[in-house]
Structure 1
Amino acid sequence: MPDLPTCFAGLILAFKPLFVHRSWRHAQILMIGAILTPGQRTVTSVLRIMGRAQDRRFVNVHRILNRAAWCPRTGGRILLGLLIAAFVPRGPVVLGIDDTIERRRGRRIAAKGIYRDPVRSSDSHFVKASGLRWMSLMLLAPIPWAGRIWALPFLTALVPSERACRERGRRHKPLLDIGRQLALQARRWLPGRDLVLVGDGGFCALNFLDAMRRGRITAVTRLRLDAALYEPAPPRPPGTIGRPRTKGARLPTLAATLAAEDTLWHRLTVPGWYGPNPCSIEVVSGTAVWRHGGLPVVPIRWVLVRDPQNRFPPQSLLCTDLACDASQILSWFVRRWSVEVTFQEARAHLGVETQRQWSDTAIARTTPCLLALFSIVTLLAARLPARQRRSFATAAWYHKPRPTFADALAAVRWATWRERTLATSPRRQPRTKPRFRLPSPWAYALCHAA
């Protein structure tokens, strides 16, 4: 194994069963080098940062991504177990699911398509982007030393475009089908835990919600204000002929409930709602049956939210667990904001969208590995002393009360560089080695580079 701090070695060795002995040596180089490398996360950059620029067998490191026999899904299961043990040892496991666009160009990239760019587009401005679409499942867990919720990716899947599937003669899987498979895979990995899945309005579909309900997963998403809601079906009298009813009387739409003057609103204070500070909002909640012709019937609890100060437009949420109250549903939903933060941090600090693979196998492996590296860095930083994490977050002109992911990455890099520098010093005779201290300019250049 490359020179690593003792506290890091046990976590890295957890991924050893994925590879055979020879491939494991090269996989360690890729993992550690991807953490230390600034800028583009190419295999050549990893080899240079690890001091292997003159290694004539460099192709063996490339083969870890484009040819070696190992299963990324099994790696996701190992990573999820480490995250659960470190951050959510008990209680419900809250998962976030969302898709993102990796902007890539090139004729050899078969799975790419033309999509709406969610970052650059707005309600009145539409921007298209050429690239790959990924669906990522993340653990939404509180990080004690960060003082906030982080979205930690552990399972990411490629969603090929319809054109790519048509050219290869394959059936195209819609976005919701892949999201359903990822969520049910996490259910199989955690059979004894309560799972809560939080998504945006794109996952507000009856087929998806019914699959989550049957899989014993509590789903929390946005809900349309004009959704057709009904009362539950009345009890069926004995001797009734015909098909059983699936719904009762039609209920007013949430838009009508919002405009009604006799609606009883309750005031709640929700931490982290559109900002770091607690926000005072008004809510009203109820249960209903959501039904549409030809689709499954899903019982839901709806929550209508409005701001007394009109800082954001009214919106509605749904939960497939009828026993949950409005405050619990809102506390789960606000964790979803950290998903977009993770995508941005992965682009800024872990080199997502800078890789240059053209092989289909390498493309399908590289981006999930880089997103999973966000979680691995968080686990490594959690094993460092608190003083070491805080030292990278402060300066004479700027004080951070809590470290961010950039500070956690810098702390992990500092610990790794310190170990590698000590390991490369000559040992001519046994004597007490003076304690090494990385100079501050070196630490800034090596550890804070994006």
Structure 2
Amino acid sequence: MNWGHSWVVLGVIVELPFRPGHYYCLPVLFRLYLNKAKANQHRRVYRTRPELAVQMLDTLCSHRKNRRFHAVADSAYGGQSVLNNLPPNCDLTSRLLMDARLYEAPPVRRPGTNGRPRKRGNLLPTPAAMLEGRCRRLSFKIYGRTDTARVAHVEARVHSVPDRPLRVVAVEPLTGGRKPQAFYSTRDEATAEQVIAWYAQRWSIEVAFHDSKQQLGFEEPQGWSRRSVERTAPVAMLLYSLVVLWFARAGHRQYQPLTCPWYTSKADASFADMLGTLRRQTVRQKVLSLALNGPGSRKVKQLLEHTLAIAV
């Protein structure tokens, strides 16, 4: 039998000078999700994953109240439990169901009108219906390639949060083989291209998960106490953030790509390359600090560095 942990992670998406046009997600905050049975067992208040995400957004946004934040999340964190509880200084871009009910803004209430004021305006076409009408044809660069799609967008409100205007974008890819999708952003003044580009940046958190699991053992630690569990796994992802920041600040100057005749298309350093560069520089400092003198000492140092480069 295997036991797994479910983590909700908040990261900061950055574009670093050593690789323009590419985005990295640097994990900074973590919450361990417990189902209702486990929460009751440990005498803790049960919170859903979206509620844990809102907690972390509150922590981050309250730390810099004069700064505007913009969260990007998949559909699991794009529902009303998040949209209704966003910090005042935080926007959100996420996915939307293709059959989502959309509404215009409620009409201005005329003086002397009886009855309760309307919360919603007229019903608008769903994202799927939007694609059946007149659409623009756009080409944009996302996920490292150029895609072409039919795009329709509108300012609308959703049924569960009628008082918040959203920019809703429906996309039908013409290349790449993906299905039609819909996105929204609380930045209702944004263009369709901006909303699509913002959501595409979300993929960087998946890359961070993958690299942390493959290179730093994020999914491997075993712990028997609560503190052990809550500390070990987040440390792996914090190390991911530290390694990327080190490489951006200094490591990219020492990076030496390995010569691989069978892999000539690689142009940029992967996280494995960043980690290997850090290891080589660390060992190199240790080797240079050795009191090796006399004939052949230089070759010994070069041999140690070369052996390490092959090993990592």
Residue of structure 2 in register with 1:51 after alignment: none
2:81 is the counterpart of 1:216: no
CA distance in 2, matches of 1:185, 1:439: 44
Residue of structure 1 in register with 2:16 after alignment: 143
Name the amino acid aligned to 1:398: Y
Residue of structure 2 in register with 1:178 after alignment: 52
State which of 120, 136, 155 in structure 2 corresponds to 1:247.
120
How many aligned residue pairs are there? 305
Preserved contact between residue 206 and residue 298 of structure 1 (Cα < 8 Å):
no
CA distance in 2, matches of 1:267, 1:296: 30
Residue of structure 2 in register with 1:422 after alignment: 288
CA distance in 1, matches of 2:55, 2:230: 17
- Deviation of 1:313 after TM superposition, in Å, equals 1.0
**Aligned Cα root-mean-square deviation (Å):** 2.3
State which of 131, 140, 158 in structure 2 corresponds to 1:258.
131
Q: Which ranges in structure 2 are unaligned for 5 or more consecutive residues? A: none
Residue of structure 1 in register with 2:210 after alignment: 344
Counterparts in 2 of 1:401 and 1:163: CA distance versus 1, 3 Å: same
Counterparts in 2 of 1:368 and 1:268: CA distance versus 1, 3 Å: same
2:277 is the counterpart of 1:277: no
2:64 is the counterpart of 1:199: no
- 1:29-64 per-position Cα deviation (integer Å, ceiling 9, x unaligned): xxxxxxxxxxxxxxxxxxxxxxxxxxxxxxxxxxxx
Preserved contact between residue 120 and residue 162 of structure 2 (Cα < 8 Å):
no
Counterparts in 2 of 1:413 and 1:367: CA distance versus 1, 3 Å: same
Runs of 4+ aligned structure 1 residues displaced above 6 Å come to none
CA distance in 1, matches of 2:126, 2:219: 43
- 1:7-47 per-position Cα deviation (integer Å, ceiling 9, x unaligned): xxxxxxxxxxxxxxxxxxxxxxxxxxxxxxxxxxxxxxxxx
Residue of structure 2 in register with 1:268 after alignment: 138
- Higher relative CO (Cα under 8 Å, sequence separation at least 6) belongs to 1
CA distance in 1, matches of 2:23, 2:258: 18
State which of 159, 174, 181 in structure 2 corresponds to 1:315.
181
Preserved contact between residue 137 and residue 154 of structure 1 (Cα < 8 Å):
yes
Q: Which ranges in structure 1 are unaligned for 5 or more consecutive residues? A: 1-103, 106-129
Q: Normalised by the size of structure 2, how large is the TM-score? A: 0.89
Counterparts in 2 of 1:439 and 1:416: CA distance versus 1, 3 Å: closer
Counterparts in 2 of 1:187 and 1:285: CA distance versus 1, 3 Å: same
- Deviation of 1:207 after TM superposition, in Å, equals 2.9
- 1:76-102 per-position Cα deviation (integer Å, ceiling 9, x unaligned): xxxxxxxxxxxxxxxxxxxxxxxxxxx
State which of 284, 306, 311 in structure 2 corresponds to 1:440.
306
% identical equivalent positions: 29
Residue of structure 1 in register with 2:164 after alignment: 298
Residue of structure 1 in register with 2:275 after alignment: 409
Residue of structure 2 in register with 1:161 after alignment: 35
Preserved contact between residue 146 and residue 403 of structure 1 (Cα < 8 Å):
no
Q: Which one has the bigger strand percentage? A: 2
Secondary structure in 2 aligned to 1:131?
coil
State which of 358, 371, 375 in structure 1 corresponds to 2:241.
375
Residue of structure 2 in register with 1:328 after alignment: 194
Name the amino acid aligned to 2:280: W
- Deviation of 1:248 after TM superposition, in Å, equals 1.1
Task: Output aligned runs, 1:128-139, within 5 Å.
Answer: 130-139=3-12
CA distance in 1, matches of 2:258, 2:99: 47
Preserved contact between residue 251 and residue 278 of structure 2 (Cα < 8 Å):
no
- Deviation of 1:132 after TM superposition, in Å, equals 0.8
CA distance in 2, matches of 1:289, 1:441: 60
Counterparts in 2 of 1:140 and 1:362: CA distance versus 1, 3 Å: same
